Structure 1
């Protein structure tokens, strides 16, 4: 008969969740092998052993048995529309107001400042609050949220489905402030400022009109969207960028990819040569596609984009445009086609453009 295994008085949180034998050293050998030694802590056993405690913020520590389960967060989804969608929708509302009252176009600088203040206010509301009475700082709370994310991501538990586990990790990453929806309102503010500076009144009105027609379709979809939905969309966008990195490097045709507000996030060297700038200038929204087009071509693009933005039956448009070099000194006539890529909610997530220079 084989000798009985020695029972330990307590297990770490990961060995207990996986129903595995744990040793008494901290970090335990299993956590060391899994490269999560820094997360190895004692778990509360069935007989009451263990020493995990939670600071409730009032100077007392509660036993771990009173801590709510992490999985509860997923079932308590917020019912309000995401403030990031709300910011974008507010920008579209401002565009519509400018169509109804042309005098507002001349006051766009003030609108832009107001929008920036609104965004800053939203960002402030998203930050953890400072509990002065209890002596807790925002930094401490952020650190705790990050530790919670790392614990969730490293948890080897197989008791939930991979899809549910992914949602848990995403929620924890959101709470830690490590993953946020993209703020498109800033993109609309950038577009408005560019139009005020470089375009005549007629061109601005022609661009504002198709953008305002997007508003009803966007509003219908936005009512059901929450921050977690937008984070999944943003992750989809990041994966799309990786795939187009490979596509663009194998293309000899000038091509680039931009968000629905115009900021360029990827381009190949052929397109960079066409507009006389470096590839490194065509990432992370440093330049916008309308900044590299003549005024009439930019208006033509926005009109065509606005007419099919939410039409699932329309994906690609073939037209022409005049690109211009980054310094604005030279014009490059091109055949131009663009394809709209949409997310799971039929909202345009990016536009991919191909350009063939005309001699």
Structure 2
């Protein structure tokens, strides 16, 4: 292939729970690097409608093309009660043939592939196309360091970690030590499947030609230096490290029309914004208590709701791939009708930065 006289074309592949980071990375590449970008979006079977709206919104800016791959049915691979971290690469593996076909059908062949850290199973497609391949860690450099070091910690600890088994912080060469209670959920008391997937992905990441990480040199110089030092974490990372941050969501992804219309009707500084993030989880009992508290307080609110976990505390398991139409089933019966007009329940994700910045007059 000959690309010397053409603009570089980068293909980005999202994981099913991390579409926004890839869209924002795409914006940055187009805006600051003057490259052509095509984003491929994977999704769970139950979230296809939500993803379609996101794709339509992302394409409105006309910065890049967004291709929605067929929703992946992983019901035969992951049980409904185990829709944790292991479900993300499962969706990617099921979507791999569709991604391979779609990328081969592009009018302009890509000159590089960038996959989200939970989509590393598709790195081999870049090898087949004989183009460079990169992994994007949408979190910060310290989390990347921990992620890459998990196989070694596992070897030293002999299996899954429990905060009551380990009292001393775990040492990350050249980085701030990590307390047992601060380990990512899949490393703690979760299903073995989630834990093994974390280890497996950590061993695949170094096979990339480079690792993009959402940070910048001045913010985490010590951690970045450790990741590049062969005597510290460089021997684990192996691939070159490229800080590309800060990459933050500006709220262009997802529909803001309903939120905007609703917020316009609220008095200044009258709305509470409630969100626990994609990895923050509540039990059904906690969600019920929160719902009753909001209802009885008569407080105006926006509540970003994700499905409940089966347990709470360390080792709790965030769930992915739920059907947004089931949101009301997680809440107290009649909650949404009784709080209609005073509160707004948003399934899965909301443009938080846009709400906090552009709509600050209403939100507090």
After TM superposition, the score normalised by the length of structure 1 is: 0.26
After TM superposition, the score normalised by the length of structure 2 is: 0.26
Structure with bigger gyration radius: 1
Would you tell me which structure has more helix in proportion to its own residues?
A: 1
